[in-house]
Amino acid sequence: MRFHVSHMFKAICWSALFVATSCQSAPAATFNPLVGFGLSAVDPTTDGERYPGEVVIGDLTGTTDGEGNYKYLGINNLERGLAYNPVTGNLLLLSRLGDPNVEKSLRILDGMTGADKGFVDFNSTIVNGGTFTRNMIGVADDGAIYMANLTTNTDSSPFKIYRWDSETDAEPSLVYSGAPLAGARMGDTFDVIGSGSDTRIVAGYGNNPSVAGNNGFAIFDTLDGGLSFSATHVSIPGSETNAGDFRLGITFMDDDTVLGRGDGAVSGDATRVVDVSGGTGTLAGNIMTDGTTLRLLDFAVVDGRPLLAVQEASADTTSAAARARVFIYDLTDTSGEVGDYKIAERSALPEGVIQTANINATGQVKFGAINGRTAIVYGMSTNNGIQAFELTLDPLTAGDDADFNGDLIVDGSDFLTWQENFGIDDGSALLADGDANGDGNVDAADLSVWQTQYGQSTAPVQAAVVPEPAGAVLILSGLALMAAHLRVRPRRV
């Protein structure tokens, strides 16, 4: 779902020069509460939110407290970790309620309804250490589950990461314990990308305690398929980032690009964008959003477009921010005003109601299932339940576009996409399938657009492409013949 290409961030139009020639305002989108999510016998018609304590239709028996409330999602600052499992389609909700071996407080929720389906077991595994022994959660592309503790000082208590192979694994294993940065606070933010031995994890530092280097973050890598990890402290030289700039929100954009947000009182409304090379981070830019209460982050590519989801996490109880709104930004071009690249904004929380304060500005926002131009987005601002939305991007209407893979260069890779899907003629084709002119088909007209746009780029730095430019002549000379003889291939999903 994300870019798995090193430094893909550089392929985004940050420069006004490139914007003037190639980039355009982001098309809009529909962003509605997910139908069927969070329905209960008490409130069977309000879609899109599982509010604190709500018993949802389909919940497993034994998940309520003595007063009949769902006990794993409350208003006592116990739930900060939420993740989507791309293998099962489930949500994972991490609660700190009680002893995890007794309460079974890592819950599995149905991704479409929010109903509690069971738990991921600890099986008496000793999970200890830290201010909180369990705090944040992430899932790799292969379904492996990773959980982090929270330590307020890595000198006195190490940062720890645990792993389950899957939701059915009998118990977790400790895969990391240590101090990437001596004396730092860690575990407030956490993200996972990749799978197997390509799995990579990132965790931000807090601004308190004040230690040199806490304006950066830590990267964790594995050589044995996720059974153990080594840590690298990523230092960001100079004063371009502030202490704790990755404490409230963090997400991978690609394997070597990390986005982060910190305290708005210090850094203002700025999402940091950092390119990583070994132990050095370079600030590549700042993404502005709709205010300093936006903190929780996640990134995904939907229909070839790089999207950033940001959720509010506020200590207020009555303002618009108290409703923990979720915002979606199209990062194709962030050089203009925020409104030029904001494509959606919504809250499923009721208006005119006093909300519960999220005093620690914690939680997680996550992209779920992605299908063509549609994506599910989940948001949990601590103490305010779980919201779920269906995002549908409007079709691109600004003109023909032969950049089928979204890397902002029209090249041989895009031709291969067109070739693979040539023959789709039922009106269902998307840009990512090779539909350059937006008519829903993949045909010779799209090939003509590719020929016209071949070699065009808006990227300041171009990644290697296939084929090399010298091979373009050979491709072009054979296009007509190939178009006439290509067999229809199965559509990619």
Tell me: do 357 and 464 sit in the same domain.
no
**Assigned domain for 401 exists:** no
In angstroms, rounded to a whole number, what is the distance separating the alpha carbons of residues 280 and 444?
47
Answer whether residue 407 is part of any domain: no
The mean pLDDT of 420-430, rounded to a whole number, is 93
Q: Tokens representing 401?
A: 């576009």
- Helix 472-485 / helix 444-453 crossing angle, nearest 10 deg: 170
492 in a domain, yes or no?
Answer: no
Indicate the range of 26-30, 35-39, 419-423 predicted with least confidence.
26-30
On whether both 258 and 379 belong to a single domain, the answer is yes
pLDDT at residue 311 greater than cutoff 60: yes
Using alpha carbons only, give the angle 89, 95, 98 rounded to the nearest 5 degrees.
140
Q: Is the pLDDT of residue 387 over 90?
A: yes
The pLDDT of residue 160 is above 50: yes
56 and 106 assigned to the same domain: yes
Instruction: Check if the beta carbon of residue 197 is closer than 8 Å to that of residue 177.
Output: no
The two three-digit tokens of residue 159, written as one number:
């940062």
Mean pLDDT, the chain, rounded, equals 88
What percentage of the chain exceeds 90 in pLDDT? Answer: 78
* pLDDT band per the 50, 70, 90 thresholds, residue 26: low
Last residue of some domain: 338, 363, 393?
393
Contact by Cβ (8 Å): 73, 82: no
Convert 289-326 to b/e letters by CB count within 10 Å (16 or more is b): bbbbbbbbbbbbbbbbbbbbbbbbbbeeeeeebbbbbb
C-alpha–C-alpha distance, residues 336 and 127, integer Å: 47
In a domain, 113, yes or no: yes
Q: Is the pLDDT of residue 149 over 60?
A: yes
CATH number of the domain within which 305 lies? 2.120.10.30
Mean pLDDT of 382-386: 98
The answer, yes or no, to whether residue 396 has pLDDT greater than 90, is no
pLDDT of 466 > 70? The answer is no
Per the domain annotation, does 190 fall within a domain? yes
If asked whether residues 427 and 375 sit together in one domain, one would say no
Reading the block at residue 264, the tokens are 């708005």
Residue 17 has pLDDT above 60, yes or no: no
Residues 242 and 365 in one domain: yes
Residue 364 and residue 265 in one domain: yes
CA distance 457 to 255: 22
Please say whether the beta carbons of 173 and 179 come within 8 A: no
Q: Are 381 and 456 part of one and the same domain?
A: no
| Distance separating alpha carbons of residues 423 and 490, to the nearest angstrom | 9
Looking at the structure, tell me whether residues 381 and 419 fall in a common domain. Answer: no
Q: Answer yes or no: do 21 and 168 share one domain.
A: yes
CB atoms under 10 Å from CB of 284, counted, come to 16
Instruction: Evaluate if residue 194 carries a pLDDT over 80.
Output: yes
Tally of domains within the chain: 2
Q: Which residues pair with 193 in a beta bridge?
A: 200
| Cα distance between residue 321 and residue 316, in whole Å | 7
Beta carbons within 8 Å of 99's beta carbon, 6+ residues apart: none
Q: Which domain range does residue 425 map to?
A: 412-485
Mean pLDDT confidence for 343-369: 97
Is the Cβ–Cβ distance between 342 and 333 less than 8 Å?
no
Any idea what DSSP says for residue 471?
Answer: G
- At residue 226, the pLDDT reads 98
Distance (Å) of CA 240 to CA 209, 235, 243, 334, 400: 20, 12, 10, 19, 39
In-domain check, residue 490: no
* 459 pLDDT more than 80: no
Residue 131: CB atoms within 10 Å: 14
Listed in sequence order, the residues at least 6 apart from 219 whose beta carbon sits closer than 8 Å to its beta carbon are 200, 201, 202, 231, 232, 234, 276
Residue 244 has pLDDT above 50, yes or no: yes
Evaluate whether residue 406 is within a structural domain: no
CA 179 to chain centroid, in Å, comes to 26
pLDDT of residue 86: 98
Using only C-alpha atoms, the chain has a radius of gyration, in whole angstroms, of 23
What are the DSSP calls for 31-72, one per residue?
EEEPTTTT--SSSSS--SEE-TTPPPTTPPTT-B-TTS-BTT
pTM, full prediction:
0.80
Kindly list the distances between the CA atom of residue 482 and the CA atoms of 402, 411, 426, 430, 479, in Å, as whole numbers in the listed order. 18, 17, 21, 22, 5
pLDDT band at 11 (very low <50, low <70, confident <90, very high): very low
Domain end: 345, 360, 393, which one? 393
What per-residue confidence (pLDDT) applies to 25? Answer: 57
pLDDT band at 198 (very low <50, low <70, confident <90, very high): very high
Same domain for 236 and 301, yes or no, is yes
Say yes or no: 319 and 427 in one domain: no
Residue 448 in contact with residue 439, Cβ under 8 Å? no
pLDDT band per the 50, 70, 90 thresholds, residue 456: confident
Q: What percent of the chain has pLDDT over 70?
A: 87
Neighbours of 468 (CB within 10 A): 10
Any domain includes 403: no
* pLDDT above 90 for 7: no
Reduced to 3 states (helix: H, G, I; strand: E, B; else coil), residue 229 is: coil
What pLDDT score does 288 carry? 96
Q: Distance between alpha carbon 450 and the CA centroid of its chain, in Å?
A: 31
- What is d(CA 491, CA 421) in angstroms, rounded to the nearest whole number? 6
439 and 379: one domain? no
Q: What would the two tokens of residue 59 be? A: 């919940």
Q: For residues 422 and 477, give the distance between their C-alpha atoms in angstroms, rounded to a whole number.
A: 18
Helix segments in 193-263, DSSP class H: none
Q: Is the pLDDT of residue 28 over 90?
A: no
What confidence score (pLDDT) does residue 2 get? 57
Q: Does the pLDDT value for residue 6 go beyond 70?
A: no
Weakest mean pLDDT among 189-203, 284-298, 330-344, 456-470? 456-470
322 bridge partner residues? none
Of the residues 333, 360, 393, which one is the last residue of a structural domain?
393
Mean pLDDT across 104-118: 98
Q: What is the pLDDT of residue 460?
A: 37
Sign of the Cα torsion 237, 243, 245, 247 reads: positive
CB 300 within 8 A of CB 307: yes
